[in-house]
Structure 1
Amino acid sequence: MKKVILVMCLAFAFSQTSNAQIDFGVKGGINYNNNGDATFSSTGGDVIKGGESKSGFHAGLWFRGKIPIVGLYLRPELVYTQVKNEYTNTQNVTSDYEFKKIDVPVLIGKKFLGVANAFIGPSFQYILEDDFEFNDVTTDDFDKFSVGLQMGVGIELGRVGVDVRWERGLSNTEAKFVNGLTVDNRTNQIIFGLSLKL
């Protein structure tokens, strides 16, 4: 069902931009993940303190087309992300593990002040690979597909754009196992991005 929703959103995104001029380009940047914690301030605090243990990166493609409604635009993206997560065992010891995923944000935005923009929209994610292993438990024990929400602001100067966004996982993908191991792979990230229009 979740995959059907993803396909429908992508189809809607491209149908809305099919009759308009489409901008596209490449993007990349740094991610700071504070999984499971639902607040922006906690993730921001982690970034300010350094957040090295939960940092990662992303790279991908973006597309943008105008929507004929009060100057809005639609921006679907296809992004490869590598970031760290954590789990807590029975002794209340927290350990990190790394995972790689495909993100497909479908953002609605609006430009203002000539160079600035603000945007919001769902982000569909699928974990491709991870190095999580604890006893006989792997991440195959919980759903690797999840849905999140992204929102942010950015500026564009010519062909170069810079943005900062907050992403929060909406799916209930926390897993609690009988041996006391708790894993929460819902993302809670601050993402710094640099984009180039081609």
Structure 2
Amino acid sequence: MKKTLLTITMCLSFAGMAFAQLGQSSPDIAFGVKAGANLSYLPQNGVYNNTNKMGYQFGIWGRIGGDVFAFQPEVYLTDKNVKITDNTFTHTTNSASFTSIDVPLLAVAKGEIFNITGRVYTGPLFSFDITNKQVYPSTTTTFTDNDFVKLDYKNINYAWVFGVGADFDRVGVDLRYEGGLNKIAYSNYQYSHTRMSLFELSISYQIL
């Protein structure tokens, strides 16, 4: 609850900062769609080897602000994938796939040069889990369920976004990093925890 309240407070602060830059002028409003690919990242801990795998995302975005600062909320569907190998005596693997609705709330600074608008942005992200699939391959050795490495993935997760982008008229290209904030526990053997982060590359199109 404390993390949620802190994140909401940060969201409101960023939004207020963006709107404060508008002064008395009318804000510019933009709306569009986006799609792209991501690479999930789980840090290694010596017990588990984590293999990063590709996923996808698609959704919508909005932007309201002035010539320099803006507030940009987004809503998109994200597919996250990772393969985990247990380095203990079992040497079992887990191919985990998570689908979520992600909602970043971003403070944007932008500027134009040679008719290209460059953007840098940061802000919190809320991730709402839709599906959680963890697949264990068949094996000839007898193991119990507790012998397989599992991720205790939460229904709601939090991240912080850092990114850059460029707009070529109505087409935009973005590269961003989502750093996971909340801990995700490994459910067997009590071997610590991890945080899921993402590297993302996306293309957007401005409709409005």
Q: Shared fold by TM > 0.5?
A: yes
The amino acid of 1:197's aligned partner reads Q
Deviation at 1:177, TM superposition (A): 2.6
For the residues of structure 1 that align with 2:6 and 2:191, how far apart are their CA atoms? Answer: 31
- 2:176 aligned residue: 165
For the residues of structure 2 that align with 1:84 and 1:153, how far apart are their CA atoms? Answer: 24
Say whether the 8 Å CA contact 1:30–1:193 is kept in structure 2: yes
The amino acid of 1:147's aligned partner reads Y
Q: CA 1:177–1:24 in 2, change beyond 3 Å: closer, same or farther?
A: same
Matched, 1:27 2:34: yes
Matched, 1:176 2:173: no
- 1:41 aligned residue: none
For the residues of structure 1 that align with 2:204 and 2:181, how far apart are their CA atoms? Answer: 26
Q: CA 1:141–1:190 in 2, change beyond 3 Å: closer, same or farther?
A: closer
The amino acid of 1:26's aligned partner reads V
Identity over aligned pairs, percent? 28
Deviation at 1:92, TM superposition (A): 4.4
For the residues of structure 2 that align with 1:140 and 1:179, how far apart are their CA atoms? Answer: 12
For the residues of structure 1 that align with 2:205 and 2:127, how far apart are their CA atoms? Answer: 23
For the residues of structure 1 that align with 2:167 and 2:85, how far apart are their CA atoms? Answer: 41
Farther-moved stretch of structure 1 (119-128 vs 82-91): 82-91
For the residues of structure 1 that align with 2:198 and 2:156, how far apart are their CA atoms? Answer: 17
- 1:56 aligned residue: 55
Q: CA 1:191–1:178 in 2, change beyond 3 Å: closer, same or farther?
A: closer
Partner SS state of residue 166, structure 2: strand
Greater relative CO (CA pairs within 8 A, separation 6+):
1
- 1:82 aligned residue: 79
Matched, 1:190 2:199: yes
The amino acid of 1:177's aligned partner reads S
Deviation at 1:113, TM superposition (A): 3.5
The amino acid of 1:192's aligned partner reads L
For the residues of structure 2 that align with 1:119 and 1:127, how far apart are their CA atoms? Answer: 24
- 1:44 aligned residue: none
Partner SS state of residue 134, structure 2: coil
1:39-79 CA-partner distances (Å, limit 9, x unpaired): xxxxxxxxxxxx8x610100001010116xx8211111001
For the residues of structure 2 that align with 1:141 and 1:164, how far apart are their CA atoms? Answer: 28
1:7-63 CA-partner distances (Å, limit 9, x unpaired): 67479859x76x7332110000010112236xxxxxxxxxxxxx8x61010000101
Which stretches in structure 1 are left out of the alignment for 5+ residues?
A: 38-50
**Which structure has the highest strand share of the two?**
2
Deviation at 1:87, TM superposition (A): 3.2
Structure showing greater radius of gyration is: 2
- 1:154 aligned residue: 165
- 1:143 aligned residue: 154
Q: CA 1:110–1:12 in 2, change beyond 3 Å: closer, same or farther?
A: closer
Note the 1:102-141 alignment, pairs <5 A.
102-114=101-113, 115=116, 116-132=118-134, 135=145, 141=152
For the residues of structure 2 that align with 1:140 and 1:84, how far apart are their CA atoms? Answer: 12
For the residues of structure 2 that align with 1:112 and 1:146, how far apart are their CA atoms? Answer: 32
